Chain A
Amino acid sequence: MFLEHHEGELQKGSLGVLAKAAQLGDDVAGVVIGSGVKELAAEAGKFGAAKVFVADDASLDAPLPQPRVDVLASLVRDQGFDTVLFAASVLSADVAAGLAARLDAGLNWDLVDLERRDGQLVGKRPALGDSVYVDVGWTGEPRLALFRSGTFDPAETGGSAEVEDVAVELEEHSRAATMVEQAHAESEGPDLAEADVIVAGGRGLGGPENFTLVEELAKALGGAVGATRAVVDAGWYPYSTQIGQTGKSVSPKLYVACGISGAIQHKVGMQSSGTIVAINKDPNAPIFDFCDLGVVGDVHQVVPKLTELVRERRGS
């Protein structure tokens, strides 16, 4: 399991897939790659890794994919891993595909499940706007799999991992790209891929200033803020919050859609959420066809009241 980390913390998506791997009953090793990341190995042990390989080197500081391909490729060769798992992110997708080419290994992506069937691993992938589910397999080893973010919950086992350092040797082309400036955060609060609750806003909010309604509700629920493509394109909210076909796919436990019509481009990014609550003044909005609770009403009225009630209830 390739364990991604950001600002000194293992990413929840990675820990979720790690839990899934441990649950499949295999001997699961985590791989942590970066600079000054040794202490993350112990953390991975608590979430189900029996062993953690750590590649810790100054040359691995920037979150660039190609050096990570080098580390994983030599690990797979030396340790004989038959399966390598990744939780979807901009970085992990590039690492997984680079590794697939390096090892000539099959990569199945956007998986929402993995199971053992007659001794074979079978992945499940929603396709064509999630209108059909496809069972996918691998015709050889190693198998590479990239999971849709938020698919599995991390499970704290409280275990401890055996830690092994890995020597780092990078290919020439893997050292060519350099990070000039890194990760200028654009939003506050929990990251979208990490959040159990997402409150998202669309055109129906009426203007960028009304995103504060969404932010306040997200804060009250302890969630993250998401946005539709339309409002990102209109410059109301940053791209890093965009949910949908050209943004992120998320599946939080609770998704609250405020003033979102539910166009297919948005739907594909959020319809696998646990519970979907939609508030929209148009009773014919498509989102009412795939939500659990649909409220036909004015977001400017309903959302602030909801925020207040949630605050009261949570005593904050």
Chain B
Amino acid sequence: MKIAVCVKQVPEGNRRLDPGTKRLDRSGEGALNAFDAHAVEEALRVKDHSGEGEVVLVSMGPAKAADALRKALAMGADRAVLVSDDGAAGADLVGTSRVLAAALEREQPDLVLFGQQAADADGAVLWSAVAERLRRPVISQVAELTVADGKARGKRQTEFGYDVIEAPLPAVVAVSDAINEPRYPSLKGIMGAKSKPQETVTLSDLGVEAGAKTEVLELSDPPPRGETKKIEDDGNAAAQIVEFLAERRLI
């Protein structure tokens, strides 16, 4: 069983948009996207369950994203592939999915895992675009995953409850953060991570271009909320709420 986990490095601490480029400022410290730790954890569990195999991290980002990959290696992933190229800066969904799909084609995994969303750009759509480019089935928002007999079976959380969806391998699965509790890297894992293979490839190595079909035009402040009216309950608060709602024609 060969499992690829797509992970992302996200800025640590306070996020800001660079007013010049209107892109996220990625100059500070980076960390492994917390949602991706759930995908790494699930990959390790699937590998353990199947008794053999390999967990490969696949990422796109600046060279320093290698630090975030090392954390996932310390959790137990076997090796990492980082696509790092100046030509990939500013790539949007179309560009990023093309690059990741090319990197994944090279690896030919049985299973591709994604985390629920990116903590920086709040994107929660990449897996579906990557699955389409790979022409593989996709199951998203998976809160329980079973991989057996050449199939992935996922319990998908939806607005209406749960669906159970099954897909033959190779498949793409995006896991919800409810699926597991990611392990902390052990000291041994942290030490061992340093000697695990980490490969950096360029867009030309993969034979693709990144690019974008969307653009950021302008940044502005969010619309202000009106004043907050604050009251303390003296036994009469419920009546005051009703009055307030009636004034606004909400009841």
Contact = CB atoms under 8 A, between A and B. Distances in A.
Interface in A50-83: 63-66, 69
Interface of A is mostly: mixed
Interface residues on A, range: 35 or more
Interface residues on B, range: 35 or more
Interface in A120-147: 122, 126-128, 130-140, 146
A132 B222 contact: yes
Given A90-B159, A100-B93, A102-B132, A294 B229 contact: yes
Contact of A306 (B116, B138, B222, B238): B238
A309 interface: yes
Interface in A297-315: 297-298, 301-303, 305-306, 308-310, 313-314
B197 to A, nearest CB: 29
Contacts, number: 275
> Counting chain B CB atoms within 10 Å of each CB, which of A146, A248, A302, A308 scores highest?
A302
Interface string B149-176: 0000100111111111111100100001
Interface stretch (A25-33, A39-47, A157-165, A283-291): A283-291
B248 interface: yes
B220 interface: yes
Given A100-B94, A100-B129, A292 B229 contact: yes
Interface of A: 6, 63-66, 69, 89-91, 93-98, 100-102, 104-110, 122, 126-128, 130-140, 146, 171-174, 176-186, 191-193, 197, 221, 232-233, 238-240, 245-246, 248, 253-254, 271, 275, 277, 279, 283, 288-298, 301-303, 305-306, 308-310, 313-314
16 contacts: A6-B159, A66-B132, A93-B124, A94-B127, A97-B93, A97-B97, A100-B129, A106-B213, A134-B218, A178-B165, A185-B161, A193-B159, A245-B117, A288-B228, A295-B241, A301-B233
